[in-house]
Amino acid sequence: MKNLKKWYINLSIQRKILYCTLGVALVVLLASSVSQYMSAFSIVTEQTRKQSAGVVNELSVNLDHYFDMVRNSFEYIANNNTVQEELESDEPYKSDGTELYSYYSRSGQIRRLLLQGYTSIYMNDIQLYGYNGANHLLANNHEINENTAQT
């Protein structure tokens, strides 16, 4: 410390002013940098929070729309007269397999209803199953459809 003081006293006035000016400038620069960093950090944090809240809100609206759409599809299928007949009968409609895809058979009508309510974008498969043993499946996976058709 003594050597530093002696060194400073032996400097010319021009060098003393230069070092003092550099010291003050460095302190001001450091203080303004910290201040700007804190300000930018606050702004970025607030904007990130607002954007995240917007994304979560949009996701919530999209999920509500999706669930409403699925619920409406299910209500449409469930309240159909042909489906109600199938579910209320003591025995499910049985065919020899020739009428499976017939347009006018009950199975064909139920298959068309399931197809109307089904969207491959939102659902992988849709199945109507009744306590009386009625089982109707419409699936994206062909293996599932083939296994169900055989049983």
Question: In the structure, what pLDDT confidence band is assigned to residue 150 with cuts at 50, 70 and 90?
Answer: very low
Segments forming the whole domain that contains residue 105: 80-151
Domain end (from 10, 33, 64)? 64
Same domain, residue pair 94 and 56: no
Question: Is residue 70 included in any domain, yes or no?
Answer: no
16-25, 48-57, 93-102, range with the lowest pLDDT: 93-102
Domain end (from 64, 94, 117)? 64
For 23, the token pair is 């010291």
pTM of the model: 0.53
Tell me: pLDDT of 33 over 90.
yes
Query: Could you give the C-alpha distances from 36 to 27, 43, 46, 66, in angstroms and in order?
Result: 14, 10, 15, 44
The pLDDT of residue 54: 96
Question: Is residue 118 included in any domain, yes or no?
Answer: yes
The pLDDT of residue 58: 96
Question: Is residue 73 included in any domain, yes or no?
Answer: no
Residue whose pair of structure tokens reads 């460095």 in the numeric block: 26
For 3, the token pair is 């050597």
Average pLDDT over residues 34-57: 97
Residue whose pair of structure tokens reads 């068309």 in the numeric block: 112
Same domain, residue pair 59 and 95: no
Same domain, residue pair 49 and 103: no
Same domain, residue pair 96 and 135: yes
